Chain A
């Protein structure tokens, strides 16, 4: 049988209509030619700095891009093409998003109602009870309003909202900002459980350290492209197992490694055309980097760099 992952994204590009100074308008490429697949039972972490297009990628899959955005490419979910219509019907059911901030909870609705959603039958009540138990939320927290919850409880409540539906794909957008290590790890463990129960999880974060703790594979985003997708073991095994120069730089910059900054800045989207976007910062740059960059598939990983062997 052919390998058929739950989610397959092929050559996704997203561009925006933007105003420049005054009245001129132009298209800005925010992400270009992203291909990635995620299967049941695994956590794929998307790691990149702000502006690398990682949230946009998630919004593209969910179908919640702003109006002035256009998306190209193909998304296949569970063997079928994910059209706009299908996105709408699956959103919040088979594909769920855990938002970044606990301020996404409705401040005027009791937690129980929010978690339970519009269904009020016995089955959904039972499910609510189950997941409150699973996430260590006491019974009477059903009756509370969001402002009465502690930060950790609110976060668990958000996770249990996703738990209500039998989602196959869960996308978490920076689920642990500003949490201490203990709390962050607890939150991430919930996502590990989701994956272990046979769901596919996409974890979006800027914090490679955290990603290394739970993910199975890491996709490194840079300036709206994927530069490398590697199994998490490669990061644990050391820098020599990482292939792309940007991934290496990221690894070297960690305080437990070299704590070394890297010259230059991530370019803005909008630079369309051939060539490697990292080339201007790269030590290995040569003439060939201005050409189309092939995607090289090595055992279990993918690298977008022509100097990789």
Chain B
């Protein structure tokens, strides 16, 4: 009988392996394997072509993997950048004088107040679309939630009696930051960061689908889905079904990963 902690560890390992496989798979799939092959176009799913083929004979399984791996890379890079911004801004808000905090809160509310998609489209459009524009857009819109979380954590822990006591024991601010505050926010930060991935990926796919994100040469899932729309009415359901399903699967994987990492990092739930 496995206990919960073992289960969580296995789940984390399995999820990370699947994600790594997708990433490596995406790197191995190059232009040549996604060439048009008119001898096998419009095939429905079979053992040769698991996800079927499209209107110019490209294998949909390979395209989906490639698309997912692009989404993954964008998700990872965007999350890391958002995370770094969030830590700096959140910690500043928690440590600096009140007026700095007020400005930061105002900024967070401003960014959060505008619908993500709208802001993303505008930023992506201004910065020239494509990979770079999309990345800047996602980072600029996704740091807020995490920054707010870190700010409130820092504020909360700063009011703890043991922090004030540390000061009366003659400890410096930098000691308190290193020894008390950072170890406290780190686990929460990691979990939130993991849960940020699916957000970033979904927004990337959404914006690309709408035509404001990646260009058609980059076969992201969003591109695949928007191209497929034209062919759905001809009965080629597999063009959108499998890539869409895989995208949902990827999101669920991240969600599970976040949950399990949380169980492992949070010492209090470990004893149940």
Report which A residues bind B (CB closer than 8 A). Answer: 18-19, 23, 25, 66-68
Chain A: CB-nearest residue to B1:
A25
Chain B positions 86 through 119: 1 when the CB is less than 8 Å from some CB of chain A, otherwise 0: 0000000000000000000000000000000000
Number of interface residues of B (CB under 8 A): 6
The 7 closest A-B pairs by CB, nearest first: A25-B3, A23-B5, A23-B6, A19-B270, A19-B271, A68-B272, A67-B272
* A67 CA / B272 CA spacing, docked (Å): 7
Which residues on B sit within 8 Å (CB–CB) of A25?
Answer: 3
Which residues on A sit within 8 Å (CB–CB) of B271?
Answer: 18-19, 68
* A25 CA / B7 CA spacing, docked (Å): 14
Which residues on A sit within 8 Å (CB–CB) of B3?
Answer: 19, 23, 25
- Beyond A18-B271, A19-B271, A23-B3, 10 additional contacts (C-beta under 8 Å) are A19-B3, A19-B5, A19-B270, A23-B5, A23-B6, A25-B3, A66-B272, A67-B272, A68-B271, A68-B272
A25 to chain B, nearest CB (A): 5
Chain A: CB-nearest residue to B3:
A25
* A67 CA / B270 CA spacing, docked (Å): 13
Chain B: CB-nearest residue to A22:
B5
* A192 CA / B49 CA spacing, docked (Å): 81
* A68 CA / B270 CA spacing, docked (Å): 11
* A19 CA / B4 CA spacing, docked (Å): 10
Which residues on B sit within 8 Å (CB–CB) of A18?
Answer: 271
Which residues on B sit within 8 Å (CB–CB) of A23?
Answer: 3, 5-6
* A88 CA / B272 CA spacing, docked (Å): 22
Chain A: CB-nearest residue to B270:
A19
* A173 CA / B271 CA spacing, docked (Å): 24
* A19 CA / B272 CA spacing, docked (Å): 9
Chain B positions 1 through 43: 1 when the CB is less than 8 Å from some CB of chain A, otherwise 0: 0010110000000000000000000000000000000000000
Which residues on A sit within 8 Å (CB–CB) of B6?
Answer: 23
* A66 CA / B3 CA spacing, docked (Å): 17
* A66 CA / B269 CA spacing, docked (Å): 12
Residue from A23, A66, A67 with most neighbouring chain B CB atoms (10 Å): A23
A56 to chain B, nearest CB (A): 15
